[in-house]
Amino acid sequence: MPLQFRDAPAPAPATPAPWFSGMKRGFARRCPACGVGRLYHGYVKQQEHCSHCGENLLQYRADDAPAYFTILIFGHIVVPAILLLEMRYHPSTSLHLMLWIPLTLALTVLLLPPIKGALIGLQWALRLRS
């Protein structure tokens, strides 16, 4: 005789939060849950908990994805610009180096924290915890 279980109601599935608002708050480097507390306490070091709503922020781990997406976005901005400059004006190699190395460093440093925040906000909205 097979085991029979009582008809207990199934737990309600966790409904995801609006993903765009979570990503927007994270991109602004704010807590994805409330949008008020700071997401980082350094360059890209996450706060343990939100100072405003108490959300546990360390349960959302972005790992290497922010660096990947930073390179992807950066490549789509800079590579066409490099090619366009080269095809139209044929500048010297030294001009390329003086222009693109600082731009590469600046864009990477500026894009990494907001992209990491957006990914953390997406994880928050989809309830993806580590």
Strand partners, 49: 56
Q: Two tokens at 124? A: 């928050």
Q: Which residues contact 61 (CB under 8 A, 6 or more apart)?
A: 123, 130
Structure tokens, 20: 């765009």
Q: Is the pLDDT of residue 19 over 70?
A: yes
pLDDT in tens, 93-108: 999 999 999 999 999 9
Mean pLDDT of the chain, nearest integer = 90
Q: Which residues pair with 30 in a beta bridge?
A: 38
Task: State pTM to two decimals.
Answer: 0.83
